[in-house]
């Protein structure tokens, strides 16, 4: 049987492999479309693909080549690759569809059907960078030859897998060899993903003996590449409707234990389903904690995927023999995604209300600010009328204010004209106060959360530092000392920020000015 033919009966091909993994490629409908794999609709960068049915229409052949970076960095891959070219590897998927049993539920009853194209099976090949120049040139030629095969529409689809494998085999034994790592995979319609290999297959026979002597590096490669290959399959096999591609990496590829009995088979079937459910729940929790409307919407999208997985694959177990299909014996603790969805929807509604209130706050406070500036302009314009200058030198001449029955309006106009920054700030602060009283939610004030969070962190850090120092020298009172230090820091910060704000406005009053000014305003209001 060819490596691209999935068996219809007997033990699964991964059953007795020392390296066996299971995971899930998200599908909202529970029925992956193999014709979508590697297509342009996925918006993949640097991807070349072949996806066609065979001449008789009974099978589908899929081959996808993509260059990927296997290392996260703050520097973009397009720049980092010039300094560290080893971060990039080329991933190649070669697969053919075949017959498999697909489980589904009709109501609460488990059913199954034999799907003629229920599984895509084949090879996953990783072609790493080679630091030796001649080998790297041979590697680039091999990649060009692979792209030529993928772009060739003249040959029958069924010949493509063998042509690609022949290219890999020839490059392996050429004068300048091209190394590659090979793993077998099976991707089912339900999204169930299996990956398996042994070390001779992974490293290929001609380098296996040498690799055993080298040991550590190749073993580390065998540990890392399966998960990177899994991420590659997820990216090329489904469209990220509700989430960013990097969030898929939170779904684990679970390494299975070598089965020694039916009990260990049950344990493997249970563990990978449980870890997948945990991974989906973690993604939802991650989006919930962001507190943004778009993240809540992403969380709802992930919940739809979680429901799809929990409604079918999480309720079944694959039997030890392929021909016997599935049963419902899983003993898996499931999640109450319905109530979690209601919680996310409530948080989304609250976030939308706060955003609408915040937009209103920006609009209102901007209006208050410009209104204050307009009032100041008006005060400057009427100042020469109510207080003309006696003499010819306007800046230094003595102002002769006209008598009024109540001169508080004159005083206010003059004060506004002389202290523009302080007046506009006062009006703005009054607008913030009125807005808070009307909406009764200080959280709507723009910038409040960021300011309070920063101030809280600083005061807590100082309080904890003081408490630790006191604790070293005294057995009691450390908590009180830390609390007093935090309170003093908070008070000093508020007083300092207020003083700095008034200083920048050029209107820093003394305590005597504040007292006399307050008494003067009270006198004018009463008299």
pTM listed for this prediction:
0.68
The model's pLDDT over 358-368, given as tens digits with 9 standing for 90+, comes to 666 666 666 76
Share of the chain above pLDDT 90, in %: 16
Q: Cα angle vertex 258, ends 255, 260, to 5°? A: 145
**Would you say residue 205 has pLDDT above 60?**
no
Per DSSP, the three-state class of 288 is helix
Top pLDDT among 130 and 430 is at: 130
**Would you say residue 290 has pLDDT above 60?**
yes
Compute the average pLDDT of residues 319-345: 83
- Crossing angle, helix 478-504 and helix 448-473, to 10 degrees? 140
Q: Strands across the sheet with 88-106, in order?
A: 47-53, 60-69, 88-106, 109-128, 181-188, 192-197, 19-24, 254-255
Distance CA 318, CA 194 (A): 12
Compute the average pLDDT of residues 464-478: 69
**Would you say residue 12 has pLDDT above 80?**
yes
pLDDT of residue 56: 86
Which one, of 265, 335, 332, 330, lies nearest residue 22 by Cα? 265
Are 472 and 481 in contact, with CB atoms under 8 Å apart? no
**Would you say residue 452 has pLDDT above 70?**
no
Which one, of 224, 196, 222, 227, lies nearest residue 211 by Cα? 222
The model's pLDDT over 137-182, given as tens digits with 9 standing for 90+, comes to 888 899 999 999 998 888 888 889 999 999 888 887 766 677 789 9
Residue in this structure with the two tokens 């990216």, named with its chain if needed: 235
Distance separating the N- and C-terminal Cα atoms of the chain: 106
Mean pLDDT of the residues in the chain:
76
HEC readout, 375-428:
HHHHHHHHHHHHCCEECCCCCCCEECCCCCCCCHHHHHHHHHHHCHHHHHHHHH
Are 155 and 161 in contact, with CB atoms under 8 Å apart? no
Which of 88-102, 450-464, 495-509 is modeled with the greatest confidence?
Answer: 88-102
What count of other Cβ atoms lies within 10 Å of the Cβ of residue 287?
24
Burial-class residue 503 by CB neighbours within 10 Å (0-12, 13-18, 19+): exposed
Look up residue 135 and give its two tokens.
Answer: 């080998």
Q: Cα angle vertex 419, ends 416, 425, to 5°? A: 90
Look up residue 430 and give its two tokens.
Answer: 């009054």
Distance CA 232, CA 112 (A): 29
What count of other Cβ atoms lies within 10 Å of the Cβ of residue 77?
17
The sign of the torsion formed by the CA atoms of 132, 135, 139, 144 equals positive
């Amino acid at each position: 049987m060819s490596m691209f033919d999935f068996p219809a009966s007997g033990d699964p091909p991964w059953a007795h492999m020392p390296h066996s993994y299971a995971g899930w490629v998200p599908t909202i409908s529970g029925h992956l479309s193999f014709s979508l794999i590697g297509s342009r609709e996925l918006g993949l960068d640097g991807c070349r693909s072949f996806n066609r049915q065979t001449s008789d229409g009974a099978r589908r052949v899929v081959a996808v080549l993509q260059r990927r970076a296997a290392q996260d960095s703050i520097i973009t891959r397009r720049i980092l690759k010039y300094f560290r070219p080893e971060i990039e590897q080329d991933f190649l998927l070669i697969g053919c569809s075949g017959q498999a049993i697909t489980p589904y539920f009709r109501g609460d009853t488990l059913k199954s059907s034999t799907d003629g194209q229920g599984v895509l099976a084949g090879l996953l090949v990783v072609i790493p960078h080679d630091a030796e120049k001649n080998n790297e040139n041979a590697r680039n030629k091999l990649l060009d030859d692979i792209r030529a095969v993928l772009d060739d529409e003249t040959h029958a689809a069924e010949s493509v897998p063998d042509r690609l494998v022949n290219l890999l085999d020839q490059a392996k034994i050429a004068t300048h060899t091209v190394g590659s790592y090979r793993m077998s995979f099976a991707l089912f319609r339900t999204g169930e993903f299996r990956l398996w290999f042994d070390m001779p297959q992974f490293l290929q026979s001609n380098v296996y003996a040498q690799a055993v002597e080298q040991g550590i590096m190749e073993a580390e490669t065998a540990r890392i590449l399966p998960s990177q290959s899994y991420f590659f399959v997820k990216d090329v096999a489904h469209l990220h409707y509700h989430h960013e591609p990097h969030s898929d990496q939170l779904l684990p590829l679970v390494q299975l234990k070598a089965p020694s009995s039916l009990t260990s088979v049950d344990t493997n079937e249970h563990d990978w389903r449980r870890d997948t459910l945990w991974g989906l729940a973690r993604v939802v929790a991650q989006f919930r904690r962001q507190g943004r409307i778009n993240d809540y919407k992403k969380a709802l999208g992930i919940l739809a995927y979680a429901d799809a997985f929990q409604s079918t694959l999480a309720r079944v177990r694959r039997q030890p023999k392929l021909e016997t299909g599935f049963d419902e014996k899983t003993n898996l603790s499931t999640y109450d995604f319905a109530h979690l969805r209601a919680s996310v929807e409530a948080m989304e509604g609250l976030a939308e209300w706060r955003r609408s209130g915040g937009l209103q706050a920006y609009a209102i406070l901007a209006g208050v600010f410009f209104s204050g500036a307009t009032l100041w302009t008006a005060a400057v314009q009427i100042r020469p009328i109510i207080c003309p200058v006696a003499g010819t030198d306007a800046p230094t001449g003595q102002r002769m204010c006209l008598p009024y029955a109540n001169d508080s309006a004159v005083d206010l106009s003059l004060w506004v004209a002389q202290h523009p920054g302080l007046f506009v700030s006062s009006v703005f602060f009054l607008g913030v106060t009125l807005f808070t009283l009307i909406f009764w939610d200080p959280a709507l004030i723009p910038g409040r959360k960021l300011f309070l969070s920063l101030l809280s962190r600083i005061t807590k850090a100082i309080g904890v530092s003081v408490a630790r120092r006191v604790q070293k020298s005294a057995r009691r009172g450390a908590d009180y000392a830390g609390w007093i230090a935090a309170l003093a820091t908070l008070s000093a910060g508020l007083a300092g920020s207020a003083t700095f704000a008034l200083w920048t406005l050029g209107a820093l009053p003394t305590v005597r000015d504040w007292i006399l000014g307050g008494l003067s305003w009270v006198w004018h209001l009463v008299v």
